[in-house]
Structure 1
Amino acid sequence: MRLTRYTDYSFRVLIYLAAQPDAFGTVQSISDAYQISKNHLMKVVQALSQRGYVDTIRGKGGGMRLRLPPERINVGRVVRDMESDLELVECFGPDNRCVITPECMLKNVLGEALSAFTAVLDRYTLADIVGNPAPLRRLLDVHLLDPDDA
């Protein structure tokens, strides 16, 4: 199973913001830290905002921060929210045209594997991923705006 770049970038944004919970991050600062496309990141941030993971503030001195504490952001939920689908093979989808579907056990096996995968993800939160944020801040060379300076 492979998660999309969209989900990967979603986690990068969440991790970046969790590393500095009392400050605002910007699309530019996150893009610079990870060396990823600012345009793609803007779409990811919009989706994270719409799904309730981040709050955004527009304008000069604006930015974003986590809407919820990292302990309340479940990794499995983020994956399910950000992935367009988790259909591993054609027979998982509504447009299945595979002729062997009635007798094939592959769907059952892959369904069990997907359930195990998501069950593991459901055991973790963003706080578990971030752990001690200090090393992450050093690695990312975080350039966040202090809300008091905005």
Structure 2
Amino acid sequence: MRLTSFTDYGLRMLMRMASAPERAFSSAELAEEFQLSRNHLAKIMQRLSRAGFIETRRGGGGGAILARPAEEIRLGSVVRLLEQDQPLVECLGADGGNCVIDGQCRLKVRFRSAEAAFLADLDRSTLADVALVAVARP
């Protein structure tokens, strides 16, 4: 299974925020750190904010912070949110794709099962389990 870069960067952002939960991160700061356009990062932040994973504040001292403790954020929930509307394969999409063997194919059920197992495994871990840890440098 391959995740989109949208999800990859969303997870990285959350990990970074979890590494310093007491401070707010500006979109400019995170975009520079991850070498990502601010526009793309803003879209990710917006989706995470709407879902209640982060809170954003405007103005001086503003930025993004986790909306709840990292121990309460399940990785599977984040991936489900960020991979929304991104089916594993075309036939698992909302419109069923354009498959000429649909109705005869037994592969679709295997893909659904594999995807469910993947997400169930991620549900066993929290953001706190994978958060970046600051390393003191001499």
TM-score under structure 1 length normalisation: 0.83
Q: Distance in 1 between matches of 2:94 and 2:15?
A: 34
**Counterpart residue number, 1:74:** 74
- Number of the residue aligned with 2:44: 44
Structure 2 residue aligned with 1:142:
none
- Tell me by how many angstroms 1:60 deviates: 1.8
The aligned runs of 1:11-90 (5 Å cut-off) are 11-90=11-90
Q: Structure 2 vs 1, CA of residues 94 and 63 (structure 1 numbering), >3 Å: closer, same or farther?
A: closer
Structure 1, unmatched stretches of 5+, are 139-150
Q: Which moved more, 1:79-88 or 1:110-119?
A: 79-88
Cα distance in 2 for residues equivalent to 1:54 and 1:8: 16
Deviates more, 1:119-128 or 1:1-10: 1-10
Paired residue for 2:4?
4
Instruction: Considering Cα pairs closer than 8 Å and 6+ residues apart, tell me whether 1 or 2 has the greater RCO.
Output: 1
**Letter of the 1:60 counterpart:** G
Return the TM-score normalized by structure 2.
Answer: 0.89
- 1:121-132 matches, within 5 Å, as 121-130=122-131
Secondary structure of 1:64's aligned partner: strand
Per-residue CA deviations over 1:23-68 (Å, capped at 9, x if unaligned) read 1111111112112111111111111111101111101221111010
Query: In structure 2, what is the Cα distance between the partners aligned to 1:45 and 1:117?
Result: 24
Letter in 1 for 2:128: A
Deviations 1:6-30 (A, max 9, x none): 1111111111110101111111111
2:24 touches 2:64 (CA, 8 Å); kept in 1?
A: yes
